[in-house]
Amino acid sequence: MVIVVGSGIIGSWIAYLLAKAGFEVYVFEKSENAGDGISGRNSGVLHSGIYYDETSLKSKFCFRGYEVAIPFFEKNKIPFSICGKVITTGLSDTIEDEKDKQIEIEKLFANGNRLGIPDLELKSNPGYHWKHVLGNTALWIPKTGIVDVPTYLKVLWQLGEEAGVKILKNKKVIREDGGVFALDLQSNIKEELEADYFVNACGLYSDELASNDLMNHKYEIKPNKGEYFRLNKQLPYETLVYPLPLKTSTALGVHYTFHLGGDAYAGPNSNWAFSKDDYNIITSRNVYFESLRKITDFYKEEDLSAGYVGLRPRLFLNGEAVKDFVIHKESNWIHLLGIESPGLTSSPAIAEEVVRMVG
């Protein structure tokens, strides 16, 4: 019997694939509305994997995840669109800045080609190809899409239940005095849990369940805030528009994205949150607009209004930042740590890996 802790996109894929493989599976979820965590608060983008080093787990799982996800969406009628993505050098502050960006975009193009991402194109004068996109050079990545995340999660939970997964909500899993317990958050009753395997898919909180096991590995997750502003109209074409990724962090920079229901957003930026439930938007609209206006001249500041916030589970090991996903097996626990972007894209592949580890 396997207990999966957490019913975000990662825990849900793991539970579904384990049940399909014949395991008895229970999911413990502390929230009433599963999907309130990181999985319900992201850009919904299916990434090509262009940003990552080929030896990284992010690269490996992003590629495989994309390949598994597309036929899964088609089979289960989950709305998605392979809309492609433009990464532009955007407006530069100085000539040095411009030169630097030119080098960066060429490096990204070379990395994408090395990784075998199909049909990449480097284009000068992007505004000619995509009206209102600013900058001297852009990288066109046709193999990128968006998915309707609420439907994706709902379908996964339903398929999981049909395969035999039992989902228990309002149950917080805790570890104390060498035991594992489920605390019912409505009745306050605590019961001890036993299982052949426990899978820790707790997103922002996975460091808390890991810390009992990994004596010499002091993992800590710090929440990094990504704020989204809503845009009152979509660009006149369905394509994602990104700046070059930040050099100082794993964030991809404030970009233009849209949801399949018709909403458009700018986001997410990157700032440290005060806590793991700090979902307040604190950046003022005019400051936020400064980032967006570097990649497109389609919007005026008045077109932006406060949207939503997602928290990235930034992982640190003994105080040092870890840039890759971590999947750590220790006794009968499998811990998933630092599953930030491209975790949504990678989720089916991460689940396949966990099934291999359990089997």
Ligand X SMILES: Cc1cc2nc3c(=O)[nH]c(=O)nc-3n(C[C@H](O)[C@H](O)[C@H](O)COP(=O)(O)OP(=O)(O)OC[C@H]3O[C@@H](n4cnc5c(N)ncnc54)[C@H](O)[C@@H]3O)c2cc1C
Q: Which is nearer to ligand X, 137 or 341 (CB)?
A: 341
Shortest CB 103 distance to ligand X, Å: 26
Q: Give the interface segment with ligand X, choosing from 51-59, 118-126, 186-194, 202-210 (CB under 6 A).
A: 202-210
Q: In angstroms, how far apart are the furthest CA atoms of the chain?
A: 64
Rounded Cα gap, residues 359 and 357, in angstroms = 6
Tell me the window of 31-39, 191-199, 210-218, 298-306 that interacts with ligand X (CB under 6 A): 31-39
In the list 156, 199, 201, 295, the residue contacting ligand X (rule: CB under 6 A) is 201
Give the x/- contact pattern for ligand X in 284-303, rule: CB under 6 A.
--------------------
Told to check if 153 binds ligand X by CB under 6 A, we report: no
Q: Does 315 bind ligand X (CB under 6 A)?
A: no
Q: How far is the CB of 173 from ligand X (least distance, A)?
A: 4
Q: Which stretch in 28-36, 102-110, 135-143, 242-250 sits in contact with ligand X by CB under 6 A?
A: 28-36
Q: Please work out the total of residues on this chain that contact ligand X, with binding judged by CB under 6 A.
A: 39
How many other β-carbons are positioned within 10 Å of the β-carbon of residue 22? 10
Q: Which is nearer to ligand X, 137 or 345 (CB)?
A: 345
Q: Which of 20, 169, 172, 323 binds ligand X (CB under 6 A)?
A: 172
Among 2, 23, 26, 43, binds ligand X (CB under 6 A): 43
Q: What's CA 216's distance to the chain center, in Å?
A: 28
| CA–CA gap between residue 84 and residue 75 (Å, rounded) | 21
Task: Tell which positions 214-243 bind ligand X, by CB under 6 A.
Answer: 226
Per CB under 6 A, 29 contacts ligand X: yes
Q: Which of 235, 339, 351, 354 is the binder for ligand X (CB under 6 A)?
A: 339
Between CA 306 and CA 309 the distance in angstroms is: 9
Q: Which residues, 6+ apart, have CB-to-CB distance to 132 below 8 Å?
A: 235, 236, 296, 297, 298
Among 16, 23, 26, 28, the residue binding ligand X under the rule CB under 6 A is: 28
Binding site for ligand X (CB under 6 A): 5-11, 28-31, 34, 37-39, 42-45, 47, 172-173, 201-205, 226, 268, 310-312, 339-345
